[in-house]
Structure 1
Amino acid sequence: MRRCVALAACTSAMGYSFESHVGCSYSHIYPEQYVAYKTSELFPGSLDGDLTKKVWEDVVWTKDFVDISTHTQPRLRTRAKMRWDDRFLYIGAELQEPQPWATLTAHDSVIFQDNDFEVFVDANATTHFYKEFEMNAFNTTWELCLNKPYGDGGYENSTRVYGSKGWTMEPPLRCAANVQPLGALNNPKLPGERWTVEIALPLASLAERTGARAPPRPGDFWRASFSRVQWAVKVNPETGGYEKSPSCQSCPEPGTAHEDNWVWSPQYAIQMHQPETWGILQFEDSTEVGATYYREWPSRSAAMAIYYAQHAYAAKHEGAFTTQLHDLLQFSSEPFPVCADADTIISAAGEGKSAMFEATVRSPASPEVAATVRSDRYLTVAK
């Protein structure tokens, strides 16, 4: 069941909005959710990008991807599926593409400079030590670990940055890209239809430094999302080949010299490094089990509302945080408006760049769950 409690938004006499008791479910931004079913029919060494295998046909697609921050429908369809076994999370994706194009061939290149497909996984849903994987139609890859989001001072740990000492999933990570029809890649004389991918991400690597169990158990939830970076291309009359010609379609300013960003679950900003808005990945053994409501969602969201309001407050108060919930109501904003009815405890310390806060929040929509968020976005729950 996706949306169990109705939203009720309130506006105070001062004009700012906050979440009422009923609305503290944050059901209006409940992420996309996918149930990944266990399988014994996929193996990393056999991946070829062919999604017509029965193991893939037996499970449903995600909803079609949407623009990362607007309500404009992307011009090209993108969708994905997931399976898992005791060692790997398997991902299959289909990207409609009339002009298949890729240039990067070196591992750990910055793949989003090409048209790409990206995977993000936060195994313990803390927003810290999440993993990112990118690939292009050449099957060139880049994988990295973020200790925390860039906006909170995080940094990339990868072999691109640290060489052999950097974090990597290879081996045993495996993936394959299949451009259809054969011969269409970088060939304007042969219109493309799509490119499909198969990916095997090692569960142990995805869970590394998170405390999440790997393999997960049936009924476990992780946070995950997908992104497709799409650059417009044109035919160069001199070379006869494709070349990048940025002109976005579904972005906030269509036609400007930017890429499009199409995602599985909305981010509400042109920013993938917001793990709190990623989709919900539910692991199950039997295909008879459907999606289960993520009970942590209301309290997690109420905690993130404090996080955003605190940083907005600090921007107006010389970097200082507050311990008073009522101070934050005027800094409440979408997509995470402050829940005025939540049981909230806030502590703060330090000044300037050393200022910190910690808030523990119980939403009235999930009072059995206490979510604690720090000023660096580190988010945990207790039940």
Structure 2
Amino acid sequence: MKSILVSFGFFFCLNAFAQETPRSYVAHKTSEEITIDGKAEEASWKEAKWTTDFIDIEGEKVPKYKTNVKMLWDDQYFHMYAKIVEPHIWATLKQRDTVIFYNNDFEVFIDPDGDTQKYMEFEVNALNTVWDLMLLETYREGGPAIDHWDINGIKSAVNIEGTLNDASDKDQYWEVEIAMPWDALIEASKNGEIPQNDFWRVNFSRVNWDYDLKDGHYSRKKGENGQYLPEYNWVWSPQGVINMHEPEHWGYVFFSDKKPSESIQFEIAKDEHIRWKMYELYRAQKDYYSKHKKWADRVEQLQKQPISVLNTKIHPKIELHTSGYNMIVESPFSEKKYLIKEDGEFLELKN
């Protein structure tokens, strides 16, 4: 798989940063029956490749403990397996759909269409307590979390190499194995199809807390002011900001119909680079509105120099309307037309 670093120009926006190309992974199809036991001992799992090591959510910084993921799929499930190195494995939350990241946890984010709308989040702790939810829009657009939405038929299991909630020894790692049914996942996909030989936008996060011990019981550590110390956020594909809910930064998972033993190369399409640029302009528009209390009607108000993607100029245009704006661009690579709306929804325009 190719990793390409793309540098974008300066934007008039408060959260500008150098956009790193999202990471990518090829998930192979398996015909083997997978037992969800947290151990991933099947031959398909042994053949599947690890992701690159997790990195700090903002990028660059190397996490204190290592995390990696493998992925597979079959006709019923999207399979995921994570190995989470941790010398002190603890968890306290036992109620489903509680806020699991108040414990150390492992998280999955899935946006099938890559349009930042109607995406899914799944969290699990070392007790195998889960929280699954749907977001119709990102939090930046006021999208509420629909807690009562469940990934019906999901299977998950945790295996611990160590002893849970026991501070008397040093643990090694905990493993999470997850099987998400396609029947539930394609609810968020516009075409309602399993992505065979296609990609979805996916990311993984690990929340890790400094801990206190009192009478042998673990808890999140507090500072001198009595407030909890901030958590660590370690992710597969870096976000550039401390916010998992910017789905445009998530990684690319390509679902190959080839066996895990076969080598497949996946390269992110050129038009996806246009998508990233349009989301940079979208974020710049939000900052422009915050300062001027109106939308920019010309792209030049957001970026002064000519706009280019992969050393090729593109020419986005802004159309204002009563409830916001549409920003439209034609791809010089495919001649397809794309539109991004004021709520961040990204669409391909049909002729």
Query: Same fold judged by TM-score > 0.5?
Result: yes
- Secondary structure of the structure 1 residue equivalent to 2:51: coil
Find 1:58's aligned residue among 47, 62, 79.
Answer: 47
- 1:179 alignment partner, one of 153, 160, 174: 160
Matched, 1:306 2:281: yes
Matched, 1:281 2:253: yes
CA distance in 1, matches of 2:216, 2:196: 52
Q: Deviations over 1:46-100 (max 9, x none)?
A: 3110033322110110001000014221000001010001121000000001000
Quick one: distance in 1 between partners of 2:28 and 2:301?
A: 45
Q: Which amino acid aligns with 1:207?
A: I
Residue 204 of structure 2 is matched in structure 1 by 226
> Which residue of the partner structure matches residue 146 of structure 1?
135
Which of 213, 220, 233 is the aligned partner of 1:244? 220
Letter paired with 2:28: Y
Question: What are the ranges of 5 or more consecutive residues in structure 2 without an aligned counterpart?
Answer: none
- Partners of 1:217 and 1:96 in 2: how far apart? 32
The question of whether the paired residues in 2 share the 8 Å contact of 1:101 and 1:242 is answered with: yes
Counterpart residue identity of residue 25, structure 2 = Y
Letter in 2 for 1:304: Y
Do the aligned residues in 1 keep the contact of 2:210 with 2:229 (CA within 8 Å)?
no
Residue type at the aligned position of 2:345: Y
Between stretches 143-152 and 47-56, larger displacement belongs to 47-56
Percent pairwise identity: 34
Match of 1:267 in 2: 239
Task: Tell me if 1:38 matches 2:29.
Answer: yes
Cα deviation, 1:289-332, whole Å, max 9, x if unaligned, reads 222333331110121122011111111211x1122111111599
Q: Helix, strand or coil for the counterpart of 1:347?
A: strand
Q: Does 1:157 align with 2:138?
A: no
Q: Give me the whole-angstrom Cα distance separating, in 2, the residues matched to 1:137 and 1:371.
A: 42
Q: Which amino acid is 2:193 matched to?
A: A
Between the aligned partners of 1:368 and 1:29, the Cα distance in structure 2 is 25
For the 8 Å contact 1:2–1:30, the answer to whether it is kept is: no
List runs of 5+ in structure 1 lacking aligned partners: 11-15, 19-25, 160-166, 248-255
**Could you tell me how far 1:186 is from its partner in structure 2?**
0.1
**Residue 216 of structure 1 pairs with residue 195 of structure 2:** yes
Amino acid at match of 1:362: E
Q: How has the CA–CA distance of structure 1 residues 246 and 118 changed in structure 2, closer, same or farther, with 3 Å as cutoff?
A: farther
Amino acid paired to 1:223? R
| 1:80 and 2:58 correspond | no
Q: Does 1:322 align with 2:290?
A: no
Question: Structure 1's 59 and 173: CA in aligned 2 closer, same or farther, altered over 3 A?
Answer: same
1:349 is matched with which residue? 321
Change (3 A) 1:296 1:341: closer
Supply the distance in 2 between the matched residues of 1:345 and 1:72 (Cα, whole angstroms).
37
Q: Which residue of 2 aligns with 1:13?
A: none
Q: CA deviation at 1:361?
A: 2.0
Coordinate RMSD, CA, aligned: 2.7
2: CA distance, partners of 1:269 / 1:185: 32
**Pairing partner for 1:368 from 325, 335, 344:** 335
Q: For each residue in 1:8-36, what CA deviation from the matched residue of structure 2 results, as whole angstroms up to 9, or x when unmatched?
A: 666xxxxx569xxxxxxx99621100000
Tell me how far 1:190 sits from its aligned partner. Answer: 2.3
Aligned to 1:23: none
- The DSSP-based 3-state class of the residue aligned with 2:270 is coil
Which of 318, 332, 348 aligns to 1:381? It is 348
Which letter maps to 1:39? T
Q: Partners in 2 of 1:342 and 1:8 — Cα distance?
A: 15
8 Å contact kept, 1:174–1:199: yes
Amino acid at match of 2:213: V
Structure 2 match to 1:168: 150
Question: Is this contact kept in 1: 2:8–2:19, CA < 8 A?
Answer: no
Q: Which residue of 2 aligns with 1:107?
A: 96
Aligned to 2:177: 198
Q: Is the Cα contact below 8 Å between 2:50 and 2:70 reproduced in 1?
A: yes
Q: Tell me the CA shift for residue 141 of structure 1.
A: 0.4
Please give the secondary structure, in 2, of the residue aligned with 1:358: strand
**Secondary structure of 2:168's partner?**
coil
Give the direction of change, closer, same or farther, for the CA distance of 1:139–1:90 in structure 2 (3 Å limit): same
Counterpart of 2:299, as a letter, is: L
Residue 296 of structure 1: SS of its match in structure 2? helix
Q: Secondary structure at the match of 1:175?
A: strand
